[in-house]
Amino acid sequence: MTSAEEIEHFFQVAKLLTLEAAEVIKDGINELKDIETKSSDKDLVTKYDKEVERLLFEKLSNEFPDHKFIGEETSSTNKEIPELTDAPTWIIDPIDGTTNFVHRFPQICISVALVINKRLEIGIIYNPCYDEMYTAKKGQGASLNGKSIRPSSTKELKKSLVNLETSALFTTSKTDIGLARFNAIIEVAHGVRTIGSAALALAFVARGIIDVFHMDGLKSWDVAAGCLILTEAGGTIIDTKGGIFNFMAPKVIAAANEVLAIETSKLIIETDLKTLRKRLKKN
């Protein structure tokens, strides 16, 4: 078993290394960047994403040689996501919000989580543009720059500010599903925002400035840290279709509380049924 002292040590080291790696983002934000694409024309990567991940992997493995890693850019280069084992594993998104980073839109973060025995123990999300660091340790609450955070007390979707991301809409086989979900939520909610970083969207729910965040098709590195920060802040995260949330295959409904999460999930299930009926009628 890992002791509380060991977890504290892992946490302090990871926090310092995250701040160090953030200097790479600060150096790059105003530069004109060479952009490469990965799975599609809209899936961007820069040398800064790779450098942040390299730095974190190298320095964390010097400190903790028996720890494992799951990182976006390494997985993308190797065309394989490592399997999650019981070993301590760092799950890292070096820049969540790369499209924002490329366009100098300041909603960007480094997302770092530590999982031990397949359980989330540490979550760190840092936005260097605003010097905002969200942190959580299992069982110890969540904070923003050292101050405790809580989700909002909103209990109805019709009184909610909701974050939805557009990238899910471009999977052609699912565009109708995604657009119908957008429409259904826009009709009900106070407002809808698209901030371009799933990790920050989770942190915003934890902090109480967004009430609901929904998106399917994410990866573990987008949500691992944010999932712990949100639940430790007192929020709820469930699978889109209402089941238990799996951070290794994330379909996300994150909400200030369970009532709001369930209302959103029910709306999505009803909306999907209508979309599927429409598809059947067309064929």
Burial of 283 (0-12, 13-18, 19+ CB in 10 A): exposed
Burial of 178 (0-12, 13-18, 19+ CB in 10 A): buried
Nearer to ligand IPD, 10 or 245 (CB): 245
Is 93 an annotated catalytic residue? yes
Is 98 an annotated catalytic residue? yes
Per CB under 5 A, contacts with Ca ion among 176-235 are 222
Q: Is 96 in the site for Ca ion (CB under 5 A)?
A: yes
Question: Which is nearest to 69 in space by CA: 89, 43, 97?
Answer: 89
Nearer to Ca ion, 100 or 152 (CB): 100
Is 72 an annotated catalytic residue? yes
Nearer to Ca ion, 109 or 267 (CB): 109
Q: How far is the CB of 145 from ligand IPD (least distance, A)?
A: 22
Q: Is 121 in the site for Ca ion (CB under 5 A)?
A: no
Q: How far is the CB of 273 from ligand IPD (least distance, A)?
A: 25
Check 7, 95, 185, 210 and give the catalytic one: 95
Check 18, 46, 74, 98 and give the catalytic one: 98
Nearer to ligand IPD, 61 or 194 (CB): 194
Is 216 an annotated catalytic residue? no
Question: Which is nearest to 195 in space by CA: 222, 225, 158, 156?
Answer: 222
Q: How many residues bind Ca ion (CB under 5 A)?
A: 5
Which residue ranges make up the site for ligand IPD (CB under 6 A)? 72, 93, 96-98, 165, 167, 196-198, 218, 222
Check 49, 51, 72, 211 and give the catalytic one: 72
| Residues designated catalytic | 72, 93, 95-96, 98, 222
Which residues contact Ca ion by CB under 5 A? 72, 93, 95-96, 222
